[in-house]
Amino acid sequence: MEEHFKRCILAPGTSFQLYHIGEGVYAASLTISPEIAALWLPGESDMVWRSRNWDTVALYKHQMEENQWVFDGNTIKFDAKGKLIDGQHRLAAAIASKVSFRTVVVMGAIDQHPMADTGKKRSLIDWLRHKKTSHPSEVAGILRFHARWITASNGPEFQYNALKGGRANCGNERSNEDLLNLLDENPHIVSSAAFARRTASVFTGLFPRIWVGHLHYLFGQKSDDGDADKFFNDLAERTATLDPNNPLFLLRSFLDKRRIAANRSGVTQKDAVAFYAVTIMAWNAYVLDSDLKALRWGPRIKQSFPEILSSE
């Protein structure tokens, strides 16, 4: 542990008093020179917590160059293995500005728990990257939608309100820890996120791929392996000639009309309700191998929000 502090000796004139402040934890007040910063700062690809924000680095660089930088109590932190866990932007700014700054360095700090939201808190995407989860942006979005969905456990009408953003989604604001636990309980969300990314071009300019990924996951929970893939792949297949009463034909027509409207006015949260409703209705007819006379849903039609049927 102390060897990481001793590296500071590599910068001429650096001296410090090392304090043992807890079991395996040491601290020292140091002047961090650009040379020390370069020694301690890992490559951007090695920062598993989050990507480097170069706007933040530019701001800190300007403050250091203009002698505006003041020590605000935030520390540079390393874990017990010597890996930097907090302070990358300050170190990068010192290198860029070629200006030294005074701070406290802590060695042996424990990685922040997902519920620890002090300082510049780690986002859910940061934690998913830390866990080396594929497609972290899509997974994070699907998890938030799924948290609303399962909170609305009293039936389709509550799920309708959850999608709409109403009060019936009570408790949808989950902590990072809750959402990471939700992923542990629903690991196939990752494969649905991957599927949504692969098929994103089909829904470009219409609906976010997060909605597609979440519905893919919901359908997958109600069907045999591959049925959800087949449904969305068949929907995307434009070369096949379908009967006008085929649910996929009707869903394509609905989506094409919504694409025009979305290009004019953009997509809103309320559009998620209609997208989920008609897609579930088409899925239900698809798994029952039945036709539909029409595919419409909206508050004026006085239809209940549909329940997802099983293909088994």
Structure-model confidence comparison of residues 65 and 263, the more confident one: 65
What is the C-alpha separation between 40 and 3, in angstroms, rounded?
12
Q: Which amino acid is at 196?
A: A
- The confidence band for 166, taking pLDDT boundaries of 50, 70 and 90, is very low
Question: Does residue 169 contact residue 148 with C-beta atoms inside 8 Å?
Answer: yes
**pLDDT value at 115 more than 70:** no
Mean pLDDT within 105-118: 60
Cα torsion at 209, 211, 217, 218 (round to 10°)? Answer: -160
pLDDT digits (tens, 9 = 90+) for 135-152: 999 999 999 888 888 876
Classify 290 as helix, strand or coil. coil
| Most confident residue range from 57-61, 283-287, 306-310 | 283-287
pLDDT value for 200: 80
What is the C-alpha separation between 79 and 33, in angstroms, rounded?
21
Structure-model confidence comparison of residues 120 and 198, the more confident one: 198
* pTM, rounded to two decimals: 0.62
Mean pLDDT rounded to a whole number for the chain: 78
What is the C-alpha separation between 94 and 88, in angstroms, rounded?
10
Question: Does residue 26 contact residue 1 with C-beta atoms inside 8 Å?
Answer: yes
Percent of the chain residues past pLDDT 70, beyond the cut: 72
> Per DSSP, what are the bridge partners of residue 18?
28
pLDDT digits (tens, 9 = 90+) for 58-109: 888 988 998 888 887 888 888 877 788 888 889 999 999 999 999 998 888 7
Cα torsion at 264, 265, 270, 272 (round to 10°)? Answer: 40
Cα torsion at 49, 218, 235, 288 (round to 10°)? Answer: 170
What is the C-alpha separation between 78 and 44, in angstroms, rounded?
16
| Concatenated DSSP letters of 128-150 | HHHTT-SSHHHHHHHHHHHHHHH
pLDDT value for 117: 35
Classify 43 as helix, strand or coil. coil
**pLDDT value at 131 more than 90:** no
Q: Which two tokens stand for residue 247?
A: 């649910």
DSSP 168: G
Residues of 125-164 as b/e, b for ≥16 C-beta within 10 angstroms? bbbbbbeebebbebbbbbbbbbbbbebbeeebebbbbbbb
pLDDT value for 220: 92
| Most confident residue range from 1-10, 52-61, 122-131, 185-194 | 185-194
CA 90-92-93 angle, to 5 degrees, is 65
